[in-house]
A and B are shown apart, each in its own frame.
Chain A
Amino acid sequence: MSSILTVTMPKWGLSMQEGKVNLWLKEVGDTIAPGEEIVEVESEKISGAVEAAVSGTLRRQIAQPDEVLPVGALLGVIADADVSDELIDDLVTRFQAEFVPPTDDEADAGPQTQTVQVNGRQLRYLKRGEGGTPLLLIHGFGGDLNNWLFNHEALAASRAVYAIDLPGHGASTKVTGAASLDDLADAVSGFMDAVGIASADVVGHSMGGGVCLALTRRAPQKVRSLTLIASAGLGSDINGAYIDGFVAGNTRNALKPLLAQLFSDAGLVTRQLIDDMLKFKRLEGVDAALATLAGGLFPGGRQSEVLADIAAKSGKPVLVIWGENDQIIPVAHASAIPAARVVVLPAQGHMVQMESASEVNKLIGEFTS
């Protein structure tokens, strides 16, 4: 039987309840491959593209640009070219008749973050998916588990994927301890023990990559493979002005130009993204935690630890992903591990896992399968 599939409003992040259709990236009649971006959607927090899950032809654009629709609402229809228009119209009619937007309560009933105590520090994490080899997502400096908004669910199709908030970050305890990659790695190691993960494919972004490397040094048995995205720990250079500005910045106007350096498309730095960052930075203890960490990890605008040889000596499979135009950690660091598979994504910035989510998801999926 020929396939016929609906494209619906995605749910990015736990709080998303509706989204605005910005622009169709495919026209009716275009042929579509899995993973291709079909339509650009904007939530309160972030804008991104909805990707095709199947191959086929875009047969209908139901949602119009600038339309605001609840999560789950019908955006379009993909079907094989031989599916009749009548069948598609039937499906659309039926869908629209039966569709009930989720209530607030239902919207909250999705995956929930959990917390676990590790050496007196509370760590927050979000688990999606079940079974398989566990995969661990570790964010960068000043980030949190939401940095994996566009990756987490996609990677969790057939395995358990955990995203954590490092100490001093997100909703984890705002005490950072020794301000070293080892200290953060020990927290991750303790987290794995606490939730019963013997070993995992570890994925780290930026400082989180450095944490993955330190974890490989401290507890090699816990690391099955390493995916290092725009990773720290592969060279001494780092954008010290960004780090200092980020630590000191406490207003929208101070943070906006800094956060813009993270993305290749500065338009992604929405007001909501800045506001959320401000909310985090204004929590008691965050300023001190970030300043302490920055002082330990990036003193004088340099990275204090280069751990490339740890990866090399460990013999673990390593995937390195970088954005070509990374303004925070230079793309030159991508070649620091000779045996690694290296992918440099053209025209991308530091937050490459968000901006090129489908590409990064595909690379990680293939690498860790």
Chain B
Amino acid sequence: MARKITYQQAINEALDQEMARDPSVIVMGEDVAGGAGAPGEEDSWGGVLGVTKGLYAKHPGRVLDTPISESGYIGAAVGAACNGMRPVAELMFIDFMGVCFDQIFNQAAKFRYMFGGKAKTPVVIRAMYGAGFRAAAQHSQCLYNIFTHIPGLKVVLPSNPYDAKGLLIQSIRDNDPVIFLEHKALYTMEGDVPEESYIVPFGEAAVVQEGDDVTIVAFGRMVNYAKDAGASLRKKGVQCEIIDPRTTSPMDFDTILESVERTGRLVIVDESHPRCSMASDVSGFIAQEAFRALKAPIQMVTAPHVPVPFAASLEDLYIPSPARIEEAVMRVKEYR
């Protein structure tokens, strides 16, 4: 039965239920339990923000603290996946992909193709992404677009607790490598989540609000900002259709295309930088496939092409806001 839990609890519950269901599921990463070898408590952190707290005691021997050695343990997760396990490795901050990317994009992503279809690499790499925590340039990026670019990887961006649980269960059961990205600002978000196990399939966008005036495609945390903007615009008589692709690889282009063919107006909201982004990806797709349907130029609402700044006054300016989304919608709405 559904009850309200947080995004963070939803992720913990998905891990817990899958570990109970399948003994080959293991969790590994820096301080996913915390306290390994230390004189104090075991499971002292349960992840740097406590997301994996409690799994250590429930699933003895299957929650593994690692050295701060991302290439080492991310690669080990990939190798273990080739040898029958279903590891869920936590990379902590997605920014740390820089020190282990080879194991992800040259190894995990390529095995199946490069080995002629013989390999199966069911590894999940979980990581936090996104700005808003005054964590500055090396702990605040999105980077999902980079993973999306790589054939062989699947990329998941849940925007709410329900999707977080269902998509993580699907990620763990999936037989391909999955990059599962959690926006730090969403950890405390509450929502209805069934107690039972369930999956949300990949490549199926959610239409979180229907409308005929303007299509908004938003990613991850930005879905919630788009909803705020959409609610405000509704009161002004502008009906937005808000699409949350939920996974960027595979990507449900059909739902976006169908919507834009109806509205003729498209705003894309992406917390990432504008160049070679999900925003430019969707924009390019629609320009190619639905040019005749467009009644106004596509608007991209993104962060600027700068690193994430530290000072609050600058970071607040950096992150796309509901107000900026509203402005963009009005620009395409009123375009003549």
Contact = CB atoms under 8 A, between A and B. Distances in A.
Contacts of A251: 201, 204
B200 A282 contact: yes
A275 interface: yes
B41 interface: no
Contacts of B162: 279
Select the residue from B198, B199, B237 with max chain A CB neighbours within 10 A: B198
Interface string B239-272: 1000000000000000000000000000000000
Contacts of B334: none
Nearest to A171: B1
A193 interface: no
| Chain A, interface residues (CB within 8 Å), range | 20 to 34
Interface string B216-243: 0000000000000000001101010000
Contact of B199 (A122, A275, A282): A282
A78 to B, nearest CB: 26
A198 interface: no
B237 A66 contact: yes
A28 interface: no
Nearest to A115: B1
Interface in B188-204: 192, 194, 196-201, 204
Contact of A284 (B192, B198, B201, B207): B198
B207 A271 contact: yes
Select the residue from A15, A252, A283 with max chain B CB neighbours within 10 A: A283
A68 interface: yes
A282 B207 contact: no
A283 B197 contact: yes
B2 interface: yes
A103 to B, nearest CB: 14
Interface string A13-42: 001000000000000000000000000000
A271 B212 CA distance: 14
Nearest to B169: A284
B42 interface: no
B196 A174 contact: yes
A55 B201 CA distance: 50
A283 B207 contact: no
A124 interface: yes
B213 to A, nearest CB: 11
Contacts of A124: 1
Contacts of B194: 171, 279, 283
Contacts of A110: none
Interface in A278-334: 279, 282-285
B197 A271 contact: no
A68 B235 contact: yes
Contact of B198 (A115, A122, A282): A282
B234 A284 contact: no
Contacts of A279: 162, 194, 198
Contacts of A275: 206-207
B110 to A, nearest CB: 30
B235 A282 contact: no
B166 A271 contact: no
B105 to A, nearest CB: 30
A253 B198 CA distance: 20
A332 B13 CA distance: 49
A232 to B, nearest CB: 26
Contacts of B196: 174, 283-285
A284 B204 contact: no
Interface of B: 1-2, 162, 166, 192, 194, 196-201, 204, 206-207, 210, 234-235, 237, 239
